């Protein structure tokens, strides 16, 4: 973690072919948001906002030869898969660390929450205080009318926290066969809508403040809440302009579900159908009429106003759901009438993307192409830098300069407990479930340790941050499809390691990532400070749980109305201190850069194996992360009582560009 030897002093000399030279390309601790806070700012489709030659980076900085000659790709020397469940090669040996006594009186995580008890649910089911209390709601009147980035992100975060919690509760009900568990998205949005926790409520054409091109949404209600598209189902949203004589509608935004992407090659053109007519199966098909959204589109064609376009795309990971991508502003170019198969008339509109906007939908198209044929990825160095140690390949890419890869290291997908320390003298026990563990099962020891309910919903989505998450371990008898082994089952999203413009190598994802999704653990060689007496491997590529991490709120801000629904205890409760070095041995996590405003966070996770407790540092998405956005976390700072800790030694300038950037990192 220490910033002693960053990319600054590792510049390969132009013309150097010295293979023995170590190119230290430790990730610098910065974040480049993929999209700037000003969505109108024009830039290219990929990492924007940074000049290729940055004054702080002599490595690429304006030297006489900015592109050093190609070097042989630096590949992992070897690679290893995670150990087999039954194996016992980890953590053996004669160490003597004792697990500290468990903190007494851990707060029970299960509380009775009145959600959807009745078949017909009303807003009062949620027992919320009356609205109009800005402290309780955490959102001001001005923010309701006009959003900003912080407000939008906050509302989306609150929505998804509620949605995950409702989903978790209904998971329990499902297992007890007594609930009509459905539509957690609607229940979450009902809470926020009925309490006016929303923004950009006034309809407008053009951009919506706080929403950026490329932002992704997993539910239509999310777009309602932030004012991007106010219709919960309809594809065309419009406002009424009151003229001198008459009212006329103008289109503000449309949602395209991709039925008509016949112009597949051109991501800037969209052929959109009007609504109405033959939609209802109970009715006879009929001609579409020039009313409502159809009329609004027609008026917008005449007026030439900007129309927001949201592309609905199939989620490759779960084909049954859709992901919505804000693709920026379009204008309507043409309209005509076609005969549908039923013989009835339908309206068609040709909608064209305005130039100068950053790529959004086009990025998705590119990714799809790379997945089809990885060689089409520009700057590809390695198809899979893990050498099949992970089940999903991780590409190594450099499309900014000639560097052929990071320093050699051995890829390992799991944590190796070197320096032989025993994790605990106390034996610990997993569960005795015979099938997949069920949320709410009182006989499942693992669920009980988690407070009775599953810590995960869906495909590896963390419900809320907790002091500690207890997963089922390799020696738990539950089946392999038990959903409570998220951090042990390897990568689920398709990642790439890439060369950033000015911060060494970084990590990003080809896939869209839902908030709460497990991304990876921090793998490497684990040491235990308490027995080794080390202050910490004060070098690069180290994760140290004893550093000081800024507290932040992910589950729920105290004082918000949903506080009674959501567990607000987000303080970690580490079973023992852990230092993981990924300098020589590690996984993709070693490439994650620091940001003062990160998009991932880490969560301690323990599991049991042969009566011993193992600890993982697992990274999860803080919010929805669009494809090709750099993944970052907060590196934290050394403890003040550590020699060389907070005295500024090894300070590096932070280039994260966040408005909350502290300016440096240690």
Interacting residue ranges for DNA, rule: CB under 7 A:
119-121, 180-186, 189-190, 193-194, 201, 203, 218-220, 224, 230-236, 238-240, 255-260, 272-276, 279-281, 292-293, 312, 319-322
Provide the minimum distance between the beta carbon of 200 and DNA in the complex, in angstroms, as a whole number.
Answer: 10
Provide the minimum distance between the beta carbon of 622 and DNA in the complex, in angstroms, as a whole number.
Answer: 20
Provide the minimum distance between the beta carbon of 603 and DNA in the complex, in angstroms, as a whole number.
Answer: 23
Provide the minimum distance between the beta carbon of 382 and DNA in the complex, in angstroms, as a whole number.
Answer: 27
Taking the least distance from each CB to DNA, the nearer of 346 and 654 is 346
Taking the least distance from each CB to DNA, the nearer of 19 and 242 is 242
What is the rounded CA–CA span in Å between residue 63 and residue 14? 9
Taking the least distance from each CB to DNA, the nearer of 179 and 657 is 179
Taking the least distance from each CB to DNA, the nearer of 489 and 610 is 489
Taking alpha carbons only, the member of 307, 327, 366, 305 closest to residue 35 is 327
Provide the minimum distance between the beta carbon of 514 and DNA in the complex, in angstroms, as a whole number.
Answer: 11
Provide the minimum distance between the beta carbon of 181 and DNA in the complex, in angstroms, as a whole number.
Answer: 6
Taking alpha carbons only, the member of 6, 5, 10 closest to residue 71 is 10
Provide the minimum distance between the beta carbon of 299 and DNA in the complex, in angstroms, as a whole number.
Answer: 13
Contact yes or no for 196/144 (Cβ under 8 A):
yes
Taking the least distance from each CB to DNA, the nearer of 99 and 315 is 315
Taking the least distance from each CB to DNA, the nearer of 194 and 305 is 194
Taking the least distance from each CB to DNA, the nearer of 279 and 391 is 279
CB atoms within 10 A of CB 648: 9
Taking the least distance from each CB to DNA, the nearer of 224 and 469 is 224
CB atoms within 10 A of CB 660: 10
- Listed in sequence order, the residues at least 6 apart from 262 whose beta carbon sits closer than 8 Å to its beta carbon are 271
| Buried-state track 140-156, b at ≥16 Cβ within 10 A, e below 16 | eeebbebbebebbbbbb
Residue with tokens 């852990």: 578
Provide the minimum distance between the beta carbon of 623 and DNA in the complex, in angstroms, as a whole number.
Answer: 17
Taking the least distance from each CB to DNA, the nearer of 199 and 538 is 199
What is the rounded CA–CA span in Å between residue 267 and residue 261? 9
Return the biggest CA–CA distance within the chain. Answer: 89
Provide the minimum distance between the beta carbon of 286 and DNA in the complex, in angstroms, as a whole number.
Answer: 10
Taking the least distance from each CB to DNA, the nearer of 278 and 527 is 278
Contact yes or no for 458/167 (Cβ under 8 A):
yes
Residue with tokens 């099938």: 435
- Are β-strands 322-339 and 307-314 bridged in parallel, bridged antiparallel, or unpaired? antiparallel
Provide the minimum distance between the beta carbon of 163 and DNA in the complex, in angstroms, as a whole number.
Answer: 8
Helices (H), 486-618: 529-532
Provide the minimum distance between the beta carbon of 260 and DNA in the complex, in angstroms, as a whole number.
Answer: 6
What is the rounded CA–CA span in Å between residue 46 and residue 362? 11
Coil, strand or helix at 52? coil
Taking the least distance from each CB to DNA, the nearer of 101 and 319 is 319
Taking alpha carbons only, the member of 369, 406, 235 closest to residue 309 is 235
| C-alpha distance from residue 45 to each of 41, 213, 363, 373 (Å) | 12, 11, 7, 20
Contact yes or no for 146/209 (Cβ under 8 A):
yes
| Edge-to-edge strands, sheet with 518-521 | 469-470, 600-609, 612-621, 518-521
- Taken in order 501, 503, 509, 513, the sign of the CA dihedral is negative
């Amino acid at each position: 973690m220490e910033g002693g030897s960053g990319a600054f002093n590792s510049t390969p000399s132009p013309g150097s072919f010295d293979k023995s030279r170590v190119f230290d390309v430790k990730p610098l601790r910065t974040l480049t948001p993929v999209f700037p806070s000003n969505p109108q700012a024009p830039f290219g489709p990929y990492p924007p906002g940074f000049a290729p030659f940055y004054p702080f980076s002599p490595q690429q900085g304006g030297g006489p030869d900015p592109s050093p000659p190609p070097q042989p790709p630096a590949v992992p020397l070897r690679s290893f898969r995670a150990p087999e469940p039954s194996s016992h090669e980890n953590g053996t040996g004669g160490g003597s660390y004792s697990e500290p006594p468990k903190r007494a009186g851990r707060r029970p995580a299960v509380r009775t929450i009145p959600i959807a008890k009745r078949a017909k649910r009303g807003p009062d089911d949620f027992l919320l205080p009356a609205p109009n209390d800005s402290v309780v709601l955490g959102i001001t009147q001005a923010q309701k009318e006009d959003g900003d980035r912080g407000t939008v992100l906050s509302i989306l975060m609150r929505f998804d926290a509620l949605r995950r919690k409702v989903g978790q509760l209904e998971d329990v009900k499902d297992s007890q066969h007594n609930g009509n568990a459905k539509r957690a998205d609607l229940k979450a949005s009902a809470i926020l809508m009925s309490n006016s926790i929303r923004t950009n409520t006034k309809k407008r054409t053009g951009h919506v403040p706080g929403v950026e091109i490329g932002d992704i949404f997993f539910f239509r209600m999310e777009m309602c809440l932030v004012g991007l598209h106010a219709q919960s189902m309809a594809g065309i949203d419009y406002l009424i302009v009151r003229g001198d004589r008459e009212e006329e509608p103008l289109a503000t935004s449309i949602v395209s579900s991709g039925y008509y992407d016949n112009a597949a090659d051109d991501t800037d053109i969209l052929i959109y159908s009007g609504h109405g007519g033959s939609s209802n199966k109970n009715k006879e098909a009929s001609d579409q009429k020039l009313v409502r959204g159809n009329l609004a589109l027609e008026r917008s064609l005449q007026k030439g106003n900007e129309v927001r376009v949201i592309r609905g795309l199939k989620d490759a990971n779960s084909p049954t759901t859709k992901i919505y991508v804000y693709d920026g502003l379009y204008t309507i170019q043409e309209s005509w009438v076609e005969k549908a198969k039923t013989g009835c008339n339908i309206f068609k509109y040709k909608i064209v993307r305005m130039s100068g906007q950053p790529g959004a939908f086009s990025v998705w198209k590119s990714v799809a192409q790379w997945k089809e044929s990885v060689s089409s990825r520009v700057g590809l160095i390695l198809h899979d830098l893990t050498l099949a140690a992970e089940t999903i390949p991780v590409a190594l890419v450099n499309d900014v300069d000639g560097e052929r890869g990071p320093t050699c290291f051995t890829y390992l997908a799991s944590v190796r407990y070197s320096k032989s320390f025993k994790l605990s003298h106390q034996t610990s026990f997993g569960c005795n479930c015979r099938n997949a563990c069920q949320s709410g099962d009182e006989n499942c020891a693992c669920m009980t340790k988690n407070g009775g309910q599953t810590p995960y919903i869906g495909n590896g989505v963390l419900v809320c941050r907790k002091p500690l998450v207890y997963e089922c371990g390799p020696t738990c008898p539950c089946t392999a499809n038990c959903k409570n082994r998220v951090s042990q089952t390897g990568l689920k999203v398709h990642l790439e390691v890439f060369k950033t413009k000015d911060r060494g190598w970084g990590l990003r994802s080809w896939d869209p990532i839902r908030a709460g999704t497990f991304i990876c653990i921090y793998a490497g060689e684990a040491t235990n400070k308490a027995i080794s007496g080390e202050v910490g491997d004060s070098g690069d590529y180290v994760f140290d749980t004893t550093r000081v991490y800024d507290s932040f709120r992910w589950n729920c801000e105290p004082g918000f109305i949903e506080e009674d629904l959501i567990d607000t205890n987000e303080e970690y409760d580490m079973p023992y201190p852990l230092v993981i070095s990924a300098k020589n041995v590690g996984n993709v996590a070693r490439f994650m850069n620091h940001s003062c405003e990160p998009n991932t966070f880490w969560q301690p996770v323990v599991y049991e194996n042969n009566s011993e407790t193992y600890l993982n540092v697992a990274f999860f998405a803080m919010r929805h992360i669009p494809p090709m956005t750099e993944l970052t976390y907060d590196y934290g700072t050394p403890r003040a009582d550590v020699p060389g800790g907070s005295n500024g030694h090894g300070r590096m300038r932070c280039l994260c560009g966040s408005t909350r950037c502290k300016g440096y990192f240690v």
